[in-house]
Amino acid sequence: MRKKVTVVGVGNVGANCALRIAGKELADVVLVDIVEGVPQGKGLDILESGPVEGYDVNVIGANDYEATANSDIVVITAGFPRKPGMSRDDLLLANYEIVKTATEQAVKYSPNSILVLVTNPLDAMCWTAFQISKFSKNRVIGMAGVLDTARFRTFIAQELGVSVSNVTALVLGGHGDTMVPISRLTNVSGIPLSELLDQATIDRLVDRARNGGAEIVKYLKTGSAYYAPSAAAVEMVESILKDQKKVLPCAAYLEGEYGIKDLFVGVPIKLGSRGIEKIYEIKLQPDEQAALAKSAAAVKELIEVIKTKM
């Protein structure tokens, strides 16, 4: 029997997630959105691409969650996008209500699923889904570091004129302006970044990665990034469905690791069929630890706001 993935929210990120999942023949896909006709139309459009593209999975759209029953993974992308001048934090309370409802429905119809969160502000939305779902911590995961790392790798490869496949990077912390790219552990085919670029250039690339989402929002003016975010989410989905056990930076619930407790923060994890199978705790330099603590504190502020609404 084929696997089944539900994608909640069929805006640009959700629709591209569905398209990529279908294109890789990872699973049958159910698209869910509150806007009547839109998930049905987009689902049918993706389905009709199959004969041309050569994939053979079922894709349907729905306005309720009945069709999502027994999904293996539920990817939650629904929410309001960022607009120019808007921080991820501005989205907090509006998107809290959306994620709360989506999580309640996902749990009702797919109690054994794994939740992959994409909605911003990401770390706070993960915490919301974790509290509402009552799932074990390995089954609620946030897509953040995969995207942030992809951006960092892209900028490094561009700067050096090398293949992105040769660039290995690590980004920790909350998804947003306080993310912590660890340039010390970043390399090109094993060559430390510090031997290839001067510190001023590395700092410039770190800053660009940190503001990668805002840079795209500035260009688009009426929306936010969706090609790279959907690709990042689908890499996580694939690692779970195929039990690849990829080591990826994702938002995970910490219980003392890195000195952080009761928060979702981006850290390296092993991602397999059971969701998060291991959290890797690497030794950080004092300045890196301080930056990570600052990032976690920013996430904690958002959680405190959410707690007043629960």
Catalytic residue from among 175, 214, 253, 265: 175
Which tokens belong to 87? 């921080």
Q: Which residues contact 75 (CB under 8 A, 6 or more apart)?
A: 5, 6, 7, 8, 14, 17, 116, 118, 233, 237
What's the sign of the alpha-carbon dihedral 106, 138, 168, 177? positive
Instruction: Mark whether 285 is an active-site residue.
Output: no
Helices 12-23 and 227-241: crossing angle in degrees, nearest 10, is 40
Residue 95 CA neighbour count, 13 Å, CB half: 29
Closest among 89, 151, 87 to 123, alpha carbons compared? 89
Distance CA 77, CA 89 (A): 16
Active-site amino acid positions: 175
